[in-house]
Every structure is written in C-alpha cells, then in structure tokens.
Amino acid sequence: MDGGRAKWKPGSGIEIATQDKRFSLQFGLMAQLQVPIHHTPAIPGMNGAMDTPAVNDVTLQFRRARMSLGGNIFTPHIKYKIQFTMAPIELGFKDGVPHRVPILDWFFTFDRFRDATFQVGQYKVPYNHQRMLRVVGMQFVDRSAANNEFTMDRDIGLDIRSKDVGGLGKLRYYAGVYLGDGIAKYGASDSGFMYLGRVEVLPFGQYDDLEEADHERSVKPKMLIGGAYAFIDRDPHDNHGFFGAIPADGGTTSTHNATADVNFRWAGFSFEGAFFWRRGWRQAGKNLDAMGDPIQAVAPRNGLGYFTQAGYLLPRLPIELGARWGQIKAQGDNTSLKDSNEAGGVLNYYFARHALKLQLDYLHTWNPSLGAKYGTDQVRLQLQVTF
C-alpha cells in the first residue's frame, strides 16, 4: 500500500491505493435526516359518497442512509462500485419486515476504450437525466413527481457507452439491455427484457452535470441536452420507478417510453427540465381473489409528464433559492394514471457544498379535477451529511 496516497475528501470518503495503482478502494457514508410534514384537507364526497377525512402527519426519518465502496481492480481501467442502503424507506419496511434487499448498486465498468466503455451489473439505468444525478447533488429534497412516475431507476443489465465520443467533448451515448424486472423483484423471470438508447449533446463542452446547483458560479455557460427511448417487454411492475408496484392480478405491462431533458448552468443560475411519455399494454395475470375469482387487470399507466426547476446561488453566500413546476397527465381511455400538478420552492444552506447542507422545501400537489384547494401541502426539512 502507498500510505502517501491515502486521502480523505468531504463528500467522497476515504480512498487508499496500491503503489502500482492497480488496486484502489474508496469508502464513504451518506445520510439524510428528514422531517416531513403533510397536510391534506377533507375532501367532500361525490354522488352521495362519504367525505374523505383530512390527513395531517409529521415524522422524523432517515430518508436515505447508505454505505458505498468503489475503486479499481487489477488495472485502472476496471472500476467497480458497490452501494448498500440501511434506510427503512428504501428497504421497503412494512409491518416491521423489509421487502427489498439492501443492494442498490453492484457493477463493474471497463473503460479501456474512450468510445466504447462497458458497464455490467445492477445500477441506475441511463434513461433520464434527473434520475442519473448523484442523490447527494439534488437541488430539492427529492426528485420531481414526474421523474418518480416515469423514470427507470435501477435494473440488472449491460450497456455500452461513451462520455466523450471522438474526444470532442460535446457528445455522449448509451445503449443497453436489461433484465426488465427492476430493483425490487428477485427470483424467476420470463424472457422479457428492457432495451434502451440515450444520446446527450453538450454544446459548450464537458462539465460535471450530475449536480443541480452551480457552486462554481460558472463564468461560461454549461449545457446538456439529452433524449432517450426505452422499450420494456413484460415489466412485472406497473411502472419501472423505485416505488413501482406489482399488480394484484400478477400480470405484466409492456411499454414504449421516451424522454427529452436539459440541464443548464451559468453564473450561479441553474436550470433542469424534462418531458416524459409512456404508452403500454397489459398482459393479465392468473391470481385469484379470496372468493377464487380472477383478479381484474388494472389498465396501464399511459400518459405524459414534465417538470421545470430553477435555482440561484446568491453571490458570495452559501445560500440558494429555487422553484419547481410540473404536471402528470393521463392519455387515452385505457389508462390508470391520474392527473397531478406539482408546484413549490426550496431554500438551501450549504455548509460544505453538497457534503453538508440543510434544505427546506415546500411542495403543493393536487389533482386538477378536484382543484388546488384539495391538494396536499408538504414541507420537508432535511440535513444531509456525506463523509
């Protein structure tokens, strides 16, 4: 071991390496301690139905608590990353029992060739930009509602990619095949897979786009424009996000998915926006209800969504203000997706950039058919520490 190369960096953890640089290990921890407050007013019943009672709750929770390992083995061109979660929310605790394994990421990257890098294992599928962001680098306490509905999250698979096609600093691509079962389902699977392609253009050159705030207060503008398409054949979940549910009938859903997104930074100002579209069809399952009758299949979640958010880091101060607006819209008669609007703002105080920050955000979400006054108000205070 090369003791002189052992180092610690806030937000990255401890890194040690061998003298010949063939082996390295980086160890880090991250926690987000959060106080969420929700209020939903009572909703009057329609057509003689009973009123829906008001809901008020407040709690103290670990939104995320993770341990990560990373580095390279045998050569600098074979990299690995392993990430575990210990947060009850991410482990899917219900009645004191976890419903997900603690492995979030476990993958290897072979980057010997700049224009053809291979990655294999379980990791975040490179579908939409906001989901690809580092979880510690978010501007709001969490990602947008549109992202949560239409994103792909993690899966097991293989892709080929390049972060700098031709060495020009202005083009990236990703093309992959994945198991299609998502992160929360393990066991026997059918032959349905997920196929994905994504392209990114950086008109002003390369930059670290995996954080949403412009801490560098960039003198020159930075921009990423991306687009992706994915086809999922027989997904066991109703959507492919982290909280996607397995339908009660036990059937599967095949979907066409498309997205376009943009990331921009300049002089302390940052902008993130995305558009999503999904069209699918169901394959009914064979599960029966308590009476022995087939459970009726629920329609696919066909629709579209978008969000825009912007932030500004105040001059000479570690304080950032931000705002977000987004919508989810159902499309067609054969859909179980519900319309939803989202609007709100955020105040961030960066003690040590994203390594140690305090966030306070407010979001109002509502179904436009009921009106904004019957929506949910959410306030979240979160302390994030990475070390």
**Predicted confidence (pLDDT) per residue in 90-128, tens digit:** 998 888 888 888 999 999 999 999 999 999 999 999 999
Mean confidence (pLDDT) of the chain: 93
> Under DSSP, is residue 372 helix (H, G, I), strand (E, B) or coil?
helix
Query: Quick check: 3 pLDDT over 70?
Result: no
> Are residues 364 and 377 in contact, defined by beta-carbon separation less than 8 angstroms?
yes
Task: Give tens-digit pLDDT for 16-32.
Answer: 998 888 999 999 999 99
Which parts of 50-95 are beta strand (E)?
Answer: 55-58, 61-72, 78-85
Task: Give tens-digit pLDDT for 150-195.
Answer: 999 999 999 999 999 999 999 999 999 999 988 756 666 677 899 9
Enter the pTM of the model.
0.94
Task: Give tens-digit pLDDT for 303-320.
Answer: 999 999 999 999 999 999
291/281: higher pLDDT: 281
Q: How far is CA 302 from the centre of its chain?
A: 20
Give the number of other CB atoms < 10 A from CB of residue 293: 8
Listed in sequence order, the residues at least 6 apart from 152 whose beta carbon sits closer than 8 Å to its beta carbon are 125, 127, 128, 131, 194, 196, 230, 240, 241, 257
DSSP 230-257: EEEEEESSSSSSTTPPPPTT--EEEEEE
Q: Give residue for tokens 């392993």.
A: 82
Distance (Å, whole) CA 306 – CA 313: 24
Distance (Å, whole) CA 323 – CA 253: 34
Q: Which residues of 35-56 are buried (b: 16+ CB within 10 A; e: fewer)?
A: ebeeebeebeeeeeeeeeeeee
The partner residues of 356 in beta bridges, in order of sequence, read 385
pLDDT value of position 289 = 87
Token pair, residue 221, equals 């503008």
Distance (Å, whole) CA 212 – CA 138: 6
Residue type, 41: P
Query: Quick check: 42 pLDDT over 80?
Result: yes
